[in-house]
Amino acid sequence: MDTLIPYDSLAAETLEAILDDIVSRDGTDYGDYDLSSAQKREQALRALQSGEAVLLFDTESETIKMIPKSDLGNYDLF
């Protein structure tokens, strides 16, 4: 099961740490060009702010992931 986490309910430092973790994971693809960690974090934050993406807490793996909002139907949410 997954739990939706409203990004705007998180303290700024917590959100920054979560985004740093997400953008630094292996397999994160940003296309044919390199971005700095700060640029990746800003890009992820913009996706959350625009409603394009959401944060989910995966209770099985105990990790937080960011997914496109359009994919929410594929998850079993609390």
Domains and CATH numbers, the chain: 2-74 (1.10.10.610)
Predicted confidence at residue 9, as pLDDT, reads 96
pLDDT confidence of residue 7: 96
Q: How confident is the model at residue 72 (pLDDT cuts 50, 70, 90)?
A: very high
Neighbours of 56 (CB within 10 A): 20
Residue 30 in this model has a pLDDT that exceeds 70: no
Quote the CA–CA distance of 23 and 18 in Å, as a whole number. 9
Q: How confident is the model at residue 27 (pLDDT cuts 50, 70, 90)?
A: low
Single pTM value for the model: 0.84
**45-48 LR contacts (CB < 8 Å, sep 24+):** 45/7, 45/15, 45/19, 48/7
